[in-house]
């Protein structure tokens, strides 16, 4: 298997609403007001605010579950969903407090992605396996966001 770089993803997040304690952690809901996807074969912006269910796990890690509806620059609608885990290192926690960026190597943010569309021009995304690595990135207006490098497994 080889990994081919497919696109960059940036997303902004609002302050969370705390849903509460569950069996294995605390669940937070983040509204994602904007997202952008940029690649050689795919460029898109969010149509509506997306959502991130961010669960702080009892073992110190966090689980993310993100869903956003995107529209490509040429009008196709693509549903983007990704899940994964965050290892909140000291650098990560400091960046959250100070709203500063991290490097990809400052923490472990690993994700699996599913892209779904009915547009035949982008049918290839329906069968692709995507994985990503992420980092924190300031998103303006006293918000933090994330940037992901996303790869297609071939």
Question: What are the pLDDT digits (tens) for 95-107?
Answer: 999 999 999 999 9
Q: How far is CA 126 from the centre of its chain?
A: 18
Q: What is the Cα–Cα distance from 136 to 88, expressed in whole angstroms?
A: 11
Share of the chain above pLDDT 70, in %: 100
108-153 per-position pLDDT tens digit? 999 999 999 999 999 999 999 999 999 999 988 888 999 999 999 9
38-53 per-position pLDDT tens digit? 999 999 999 999 999 9
Q: Which two tokens stand for residue 117?
A: 């569309």
Side-chain-side CA neighbours of 85 within 13 Å: the count stands at 8
Q: What is the Cα–Cα distance from 55 to 43, expressed in whole angstroms?
A: 29
Delimit the domains of the chain by residue range.
Answer: 3-153
Architecture of the domain made up of 3-153: Beta Barrel (2.40)
State the pTM of this model.
0.93
């Amino acid at each position: 298997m080889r990994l081919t770089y497919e696109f960059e993803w940036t997303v902004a997040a609002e302050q969370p609403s705390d849903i509460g304690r569950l069996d294995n952690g605390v669940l937070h809901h983040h509204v994602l007001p904007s997202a952008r996807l940029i690649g050689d074969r795919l460029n898109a912006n969010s149509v509506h605010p997306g959502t991130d269910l961010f669960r702080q796990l009892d073992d110190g890690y966090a689980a993310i579950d993100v869903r956003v509806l995107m529209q490509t620059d040429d009008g196709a609608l693509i549903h983007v969903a990704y899940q994964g885990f965050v290892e909140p290192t000291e650098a990560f926690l400091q960046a959250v407090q100070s709203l500063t960026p991290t490097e990809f190597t400052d923490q472990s943010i690993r994700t699996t992605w599913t892209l779904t569309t009915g547009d035949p021009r982008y049918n290839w995304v329906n069968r692709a396996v995507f994985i990503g690595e992420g980092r924190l990135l300031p998103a303006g207006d006293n918000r933090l966001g994330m940037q992901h490098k996303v790869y297609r497994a071939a």
